[in-house]
Chain A
Amino acid sequence: MSELTITALRFGFLLLLWVLIFSIVAAMRRDLMIGRKAAAGAPTARQVRKNPALAEKAAPVRQQPRQLVVTEGPLKGTTIPLAASPILLGRAQEATLVLEDDYASGRHARLFPQGSRWFIEDLGSTNGTYLADQQLTRALPVELGVPVRIGKTVIELRP
């Protein structure tokens, strides 16, 4: 085989390698839109700019919870500002809100932010956690002003 053919094949192979890579990247393009799942159905900023009618459908801004208030129980009146970190509720000393409540467990429940809302999750407590008088069986979002009962303590989220 001539020198020229071999050189052509050599470069041809390098080209083939990169053709493969660019084809793969092209195939992934659809997937590269980050947050596609979250935005499913919702118009993107660019679409809104092109077609202002879409913007009207945007959901009204919800009031964000800013603090946690104890409304009943031994710690009544206590408030805790809500930051971005989860809050541990229970009698244990390492809890964020240490409940002096004989009916609460050491690590009773966890309040954590996910997306724009706060969720309450029972951590296997003895007496259970109640969200608006419903016992928790899985993590549920806590809306503003909805009472959460842990033993004799009731807490609420306030703006």
Chain B
Amino acid sequence: MTSIDPTPRPRRNVELVLLVLALAVGIGANALVGVDQQKAFDTDFWFQSSLLAAAALAFHIVLRLRAKYADPVILPLVVALNGLGLAMIHRLDRVGEDTGNNQLRWTLVAMAVSIAVIWFLKDHRILRRFTYISLAASAFLLILPLVPGISAGEILGARVWIKFGSMTFQPGEIAKITLAIFFAGYLSSNRDLILLAGRKVGPIQFPRFKDMGPMIAAWLVSIGVLIFQRDLGSSILFFGLFLVMIYVATSRISWVIIGVGLIAAGGFVASRVFSHVALRIDGWINAFTDEVYGRAFGGSLQIVEGLFGMANGGLVGTGLGQGRPNLVPFANSDMIIASFGEELGLIGLFAIVLMYLLLFTRGFRAALGTRDAFGKLLATGLSFAIALQCFVVIGGVTRLIPLTGLTTPFLAAGGSSLLANWIIVGLLLMISHTARGPVDTTPLAPGEEPDPQKVLPVMPSKPATVPGTGRNSPDAPTEAVKL
């Protein structure tokens, strides 16, 4: 590196090369899965592979047309993860089951929705206008599974599903996006108040009580989800999302202290009051005792079988299609990480974890690069939501933390999760497009004022010209968020 070239480059060709490699991983996995059963290259295989490849290339073409400067590695990463998930789900299907094709259908729907988001939304800053509508939408989506009639009732101990006809859907997955939009919009407007007002107690500054309102609301939402929907995972996800976004917006450690305190208090009370939480914790700590292992409901059979599977896989795994991940209950959704651990081994599992890590860093890179506070917070929140989900799921499967019901993004079987995560990818790509794209650096003409009607709400109109140096400040101070 002798010269630094600051001009933005689209790098879509790099994306195409990586995308071909990612498709090779996904399709290769699908081929290997069947290689032992002599059904590797049947018509089903060609049909599935060509659909996945066509959808991925269509996505690539849309990016060329609509978001030329979007991050070139996000799409290949997601396609590789999704392809791996499809192969594993297909592999785990018993005779007569059709989860694999169902997952493929949902993948195509999710990619189409994600493409539509990129095509019609054009600019993520428009979403800021829907700050409070997003809050209402989140509340609506979270209440839906509790409404009699459309509620699918209690499935596996949680009330998070709704049903249309024969289909079921988890509205909570979409709620994490609308909540992220609300938090980003709210915090980017009210950051100053939260940041400046407050009392100092010792070395840390505590915010005023009325600025704590949304924080308490977020806490109540997550506790409500825990009580009424009996869904520990989503409750952790929503609260963690808010905590991280407010920390990023204000860079105040006091919020983290308050938040962790609230989580600890809520978790302690929940473990005492709710039997399902207590069972989860018992199944985590005492997983290997006979009594807990053999318990009919809420026992540790699932975790322990998953651990045995991963132990069987060892360093290099048994090979795709060669292990017996079917022995684990929910091997294709909750425990898909254990299935991969068994068949691809530690080396393959680390590759998957690294893909998530790379995806997460690209989300944060988009947040660092974009120039509006709303986009920064949204990208941070969305990529953190993916990361937290991975932590909760993989941590649960490997018995680092109690196992809770969250889905592994892009891998696990489940349409709502795929749809929500692909929409997140669409939004991240759009934010990275504004982050990496060329900046309009023409200074304001003397006397010219930006027209507030024409300017999008968050845009610091045109980048503020800094007098004295004549340099255009790309980190427009009014909107900058400390990251």
Contacts and interface: CB of A to CB of B under 8 A. Distances in A.
Interface of A: 1, 6-7, 9-11, 13-14, 16-21, 23-25, 27-28, 31, 33, 36-37, 39-41, 44, 47, 86, 88, 92, 94, 107, 110, 112, 114-115, 119, 121, 123, 137-141, 143
Nearest to A94: B197
A96 to B, nearest CB: 9
A24 B358 contact: yes
Given A27-B14, A39-B4, A21 B196 contact: no
A94 B344 CA distance: 58
Contact of B35 (A9, A11, A28, A86): A9
A139 B464 CA distance: 9
A24 B361 CA distance: 12
Contacts of B6: 36-37, 40-41
B135 interface: no
Given A21-B358, A121-B477, 20 more contacts: A10-B32, A13-B25, A14-B317, A17-B348, A17-B351, A20-B351, A27-B11, A27-B14, A27-B73, A31-B365, A33-B4, A36-B6, A92-B197, A94-B196, A94-B208, A123-B192, A138-B460, A139-B464, A141-B467, A143-B468
B267 interface: no
Given A17-B25, A37-B6, A114 B480 contact: yes
Interface in B336-390: 344-345, 347-348, 351, 354-355, 358, 362, 365, 369
Contacts of A25: 358
A7 B474 contact: no
B98 interface: no
A20 B344 contact: no
B466 interface: yes
A114 B36 CA distance: 61
A23 B351 contact: no
Contact of B347 (A14, A23, A143): A14
Contacts of B25: 13, 16-17, 20
A84 B345 CA distance: 49
B32 A27 contact: no
Contacts of A17: 25, 344, 348, 351
Contacts of B317: 10, 14
Contacts of A31: 365
B73 A10 contact: no
Most buried by B among A18, A27, A88: A27
B199 interface: yes
A16 B477 contact: no
A123 B197 CA distance: 13
A44 B197 CA distance: 40
A21 B4 CA distance: 25
Nearest to B14: A27
A81 B285 CA distance: 53
Contact of A27 (B18, B193, B467, B468): B18
Given A13-B28, A27-B72, A121-B477, A6 B4 contact: no
Nearest to B461: A138
Nearest to B480: A114
A14 B192 contact: no
Interface in B197-223: 197-199, 208
B18 A20 contact: yes
Nearest to B475: A114
A98 B22 CA distance: 60
B449 interface: yes
Contact of B76 (A24, A47, A119): A24
Contacts of A20: 18, 21-22, 24-25, 76, 80, 351
Interface in B27-81: 28-29, 32, 35-36, 72-73, 76-77, 80
13 contacts: A6-B36, A10-B319, A10-B322, A13-B29, A14-B351, A20-B25, A28-B362, A36-B6, A37-B6, A40-B4, A110-B192, A114-B475, A137-B449
A24 B319 contact: no
Contact of A139 (B36, B199, B477): B477
Contacts of B347: 14, 18
A107 B32 contact: no
B432 to A, nearest CB: 10
A138 to B, nearest CB: 5
Interface in B179-197: 192-193, 195-197
Contacts of B355: 21
Nearest to A15: B347
